[in-house]
């Protein structure tokens, strides 16, 4: 297969390839909680060290943009408390896409390919002092467009949060910072982002609370400004409804969408579901805790 045919395949399979980027699936949060908040996640508590539990394991399923080329994302994740201030985690996200036709130089079909991708990560969440949180993750990314054209890359995430009175948390985060991914005919940037965020949780009465989350940042490779905002209502620390919006200055980098979700949490089990207007995206997540 000639170079230009493969580049065409890449442009079809990977929505941001036209701007020199690849593997956009690593930008999509794997948690229904975050996606329901318009993908706000920089300062949310979901990556903080475990409190009151020694271990948690979960699975998430996201059908992203089911009316388009579509991604089929599955995430498996587990975290364990090393000491009260330190939690270690691992996760694997797989992404499969619909089959794509491959054409020869004269435009004749020569077969099909089914692109598939994977991201494996190891993370640490650490709180060295009251209110301060540090987060870091190392990632290995594999992306296969065809059986003979496969790219690999290493990347990392890093973030800092600071909580004021367990009510308001502010944070900054760099995500998917790493080497370009090379399929054998050219190198493509990762969807690196730099963001700042804020999260607040305010009790209204004994069993009622509201939350608010917002992120803003930049994806340099596409010169795309990104912003997310979300809010939620929590009853008795068990039932929550959330909604939000994600705003992108460039739709070919990441779409603008609205989101809504419902969640249930207990001492040992969590379950959540969210819907995004980004060409009909559905996501489910469940988590078991000890």
Burial grade of 99 (CB within 10 A; 0-12, 13-18, 19 or more): exposed
Spatial distance between the Cα atoms of 30 and 16, rounded to a whole number of angstroms:
19
Identify which of 120, 123, 60 has the alpha carbon closest to the alpha carbon of residue 92. Answer: 120
- Distance (Å, rounded) from C-alpha 209 to C-alpha 138? 34
Q: What is the pLDDT of residue 74?
A: 94
Query: Per residue in 127-146, pLDDT tens?
Result: 999 999 999 999 999 988 77
59-99 pLDDT tens trace: 999 988 777 667 899 999 999 999 999 999 999 999 988 77
- Do the beta carbons of residue 198 and residue 214 sit within 8 Å? yes
> Which is more confident, 8 or 31?
31
Q: How confident is the model at residue 264 (pLDDT cuts 50, 70, 90)?
A: very high
Euclidean distance between CA atoms 163 and 179, whole angstroms = 32
Count of domains observed in the chain: 1
Residue 118 has pLDDT above 90, yes or no: yes
Chain mean pLDDT for the chain: 86
Q: Residue 31 pLDDT more than 50?
A: yes
CB 204 within 8 A of CB 212: no
Other beta carbons less than 10 A from residue 169's beta carbon: 23
Range of the domain at 246: 3-289
Task: Specify the CATH number for the domain of residue 69.
Answer: 2.40.160.60
d(CA 119, CA 39): 19
Residue 262 — very low, low, confident or very high, per pLDDT cuts 50/70/90? very high
């Amino acid at each position: 297969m000639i170079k230009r045919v493969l580049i065409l395949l890449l442009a079809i399979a990977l929505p941001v390839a036209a701007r020199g980027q690849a593997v956009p699936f690593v930008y999509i949060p794997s948690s229904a909680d975050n996606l329901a908040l318009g993908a706000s996640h920089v300062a949310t508590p979901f990556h903080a060290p475990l409190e009151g539990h020694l271990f948690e394991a979960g699975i998430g399923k996201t059908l992203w943009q089911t009316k388009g080329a579509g991604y089929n994302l599955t995430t498996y994740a587990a975290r364990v408390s090393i000491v009260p201030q330190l939690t270690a985690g691992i996760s694997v996200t797989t992404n499969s896409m619909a089959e794509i036709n491959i054409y020869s130089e004269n435009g004749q079909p020569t077969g099909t390919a089914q692109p598939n991708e994977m991201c494996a990560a190891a993370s640490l969440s650490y709180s060295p002092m009251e209110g301060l949180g540090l987060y870091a993750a190392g990632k290995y990314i594999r992306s296969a467009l065809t059986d003979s054209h496969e790219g690999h890359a290493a990347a990392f995430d890093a973030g800092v949060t600071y909580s004021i009175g367990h009510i308001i948390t502010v944070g900054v985060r760099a995500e998917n910072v790493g080497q370009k991914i090379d399929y054998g005919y050219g190198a493509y940037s990762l969807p690196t982002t730099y963001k700042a965020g804020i999260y607040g949780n305010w009790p209204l009465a004994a069993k009622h609370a509201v939350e608010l989350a917002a992120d803003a940042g930049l994806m340099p490779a596409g010169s795309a400004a990104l912003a997310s905002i979300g809010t939620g209502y929590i009853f008795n620390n068990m039932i929550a409804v959330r909604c939000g919006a994600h705003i992108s200055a460039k739709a070919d980098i990441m779409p603008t969408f609205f989101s809504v979700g419902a969640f249930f949490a207990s001492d040992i089990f969590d379950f959540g579901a969210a819907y995004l207007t980004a060409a009909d995206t559905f996501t489910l997540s469940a988590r078991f805790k000890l």
